Amino acid sequence: MKKTVQRLLAGITALSLIFGGTMMMTQNQPLTYADATNSNWSGNAPKYIFLFIGDGMTYPQFTAASDYLGAVKSENKVVASENLAFMDFPVVGNATTFDSTSFCPDSASTATSISTGFKTLSGVINMDTSKTIAYETIAEKLKAQKGYKVGVVSSVPINHATPAAFYAHQASRNNYYEIGEELVKSDFDYFGGGDFLLPTGKDNNKESIYNVAKTNGYTIANTKEAVLGLTASNDKVIAINSTTVGGALPYEVDRKSGDLSLADFTRKGIDVLYNETGFFMMVEGGKIDWACHANDAVASIKDTIAFDDAVQEAVKFYNKHPKETLIIVTGDHETGGMTIGFAGTQYSTYLTQLTNQSMSYEAFDLKIADYRTKNTSFESVLKDIQKEFGLVTAANKDQTAYANMVMTDYELTQLEAAYKLSMISKNDRKLTEADKLLYGGYEPLSMAVTHLLNNKSGIGWTSYSHTGIPTAVFARGLGAELFSGSYDNTDLYVKMKSLTKVK
């Protein structure tokens, strides 16, 4: 405790200078909470640095994905998980995630810790807890001091909290337009994945951010052909997926074959950024978090696997440049209180049952909106639930290969109660305390269906928000050994700083 207080006091007296109307910290020592132990590097700096952040992804999410893959591969005949590629990296560490607001932090503060080494309040992007001092990020430093090219990729909107924490400095993560303005003034070389949220501002009265981007010298590639056509000769590119849902890439479980994936945007990033001086690329698997907020294990598992596919693009690059490349894979916090194991299934899991789910909760929400319009009967809806999620009634038990997919009377009652609520228009629903615990702010029938399928498969959830367990850190390549052991998320910045010798 004494050590922490001393660091806090020293941090307050650290040097700063005026930057863009706010104070920009230039002196990064001493760091609040961060510990420089195991962070001193005297070797060469890695030229090519990949930082992968699975939003809301830590032990439960990647373990669920690897257990699922193992169960499906063996058709549940043996208990063996199938590791994702990053789980086999030679160095593993563990990072605490609390922020200045909570042990259950948000993506703005945790990404700030990773990119700048400072703790701050939930919701704040790269500013101190008084929201007056702006912090310079590792990406900005690598660009300014070492001439590295910089890429920022995300499956969610490109001005969302995690990507923003590498180029923006805002008192609120909700300042989407202002974050977009910082993006187009960043001079970073490649942005890929999701679209801009609020491209003309909250009140729809600002100049289109796409025009501001073009004025600042950015090329916008927003068709599959344009994105796939990008090369190293394109500098300053914003590559936006042609089909987005709420500004994000579709969930992997909903992605149409042939549409671009997170791995495609990562590979394109490598094409655009590759140069002799070096590059830094942050890639976020942002919808793992969104899936876990909605307690949808299949959407989370499929997006975690898609995230691993993106990591594998970096591994291919590493294999060509092993002496100059570093890959770091981590999460920012846990989401949903996901776990493997449920009260109703005790010591058993039935993960192969999850293969019955054909769409995300989000896609099913659209079907529910249609049921509401057409006043579709519960019996008809049950047929769809059997088709899209594999849950069957006792009367149809011969129509499933999985004995545990037959709903009990109790479960059917739960499903019908959720159906009745979902058939009422959103504004007219009166949610009881019990309803709020059961469904969060989500579509009741979608939550009832995914909860039933998840629980009957042995996956449990405790929250619709973030939780406080640490994240895992996996590393491979030059300097990877610095990432072993147990430390705070601010140390991720300290380690990257030490490796690259930026000031």
- Residue of minimal Cβ distance to Zn ion: 289
**Residue 343 CB, nearest approach to Zn ion (Å):** 25
CA distance 283 to 169: 19
Q: Which CB atom, from 25 or from 282, has the smaller least distance to Zn ion?
A: 282
140 vs 289, beta carbon nearer Zn ion? 289
Q: How many chain residues interact with Zn ion (CB under 5 A)?
A: 1
Q: Is 322 helix (H, G, I), strand (E, B) or coil?
A: coil
Cβ atoms 241, 286 nearer than 8 A: no
Cβ distance to Zn ion smaller for residue 333 or 495: 333
Question: Residue 306 CB, nearest distance to Zn ion (Å)?
Answer: 17
Measured distance CA(63)–CA(286) in Å, rounded: 18
Q: Between 181 and 289, whose beta carbon lies closer to Zn ion?
A: 289
Residue with tokens 């790269």: 126
Strand-strand pairing, 16-19 and 22-25: antiparallel
Residue 292 CB, nearest distance to Zn ion (Å)? Answer: 8
Position 362 contacts Zn ion (CB under 5 A) = no
By beta-carbon proximity to Zn ion, the closer residue of 119 and 173 is: 173
Q: Report the distance separating Cα 304 and Cα 416, nearest Å.
A: 31
- Token pair recorded at residue 378: 């519960």
- Footprint of Zn ion on residues 265-304 (CB under 5 A)? 289
Amino acid, single-letter form, for residue 176: Y
Q: Is 128 helix (H, G, I), strand (E, B) or coil?
A: coil
Question: Which one, 115 or 162, has the nearer CB to Zn ion?
Answer: 162
Distance CA 366, CA 418 (A): 16
Nearer to Zn ion, 99 or 313 (CB): 99
Query: Do you find a cis peptide bond into 46, omega within 30 degrees of 0?
Result: no
* Least gap, CB of 353 to Zn ion (angstroms): 26
Q: How far is CA 254 from CA 55, 202, 203, 299, 387, in A?
A: 19, 29, 32, 9, 15
Least separation in angstroms between residue 332's CB and Zn ion is 9
Q: What are the distances in angstroms from CA 351 to CA 66, 115, 272?
A: 11, 36, 39
CA distance 136 to 380: 56
State the CB neighbour count (10 A cutoff) for residue 172. 16
CB of 106 to Zn ion, least distance (A): 7
Residue (109 or 349) nearer to Zn ion, CB: 109
- Nearer residue to Zn ion within complex by CB, 189 or 332: 332
Compare residues 331 and 390 and give the one whose CB is closer to Zn ion. 331
| Sequence-separated (6 or more) residues with CB below 8 Å from residue 141 | 497, 500, 502, 503
Buried/exposed code over 427-445 (b: 16+ C-beta within 10 A; e: otherwise): eeeeeeeebeebbbebbbb
> Least distance to Zn ion from the beta carbon of 40, Å?
34
Helix axis angle, 409-422 relative to 444-457, nearest 10°? 150
Q: Minimum Å distance from CB 333 to Zn ion?
A: 8
* DSSP 8-state secondary structure symbol assigned to residue 253: G
Checking phi first, is residue 129 left (phi over 0); if not, alpha (psi -120 to 50) or beta? alpha
What is the nearest approach in angstroms of Zn ion to the Cβ of residue 100?
17
Q: How far is the CB of 286 from Zn ion (least distance, A)?
A: 9
* Site of interaction with Zn ion (CB under 5 A): 289
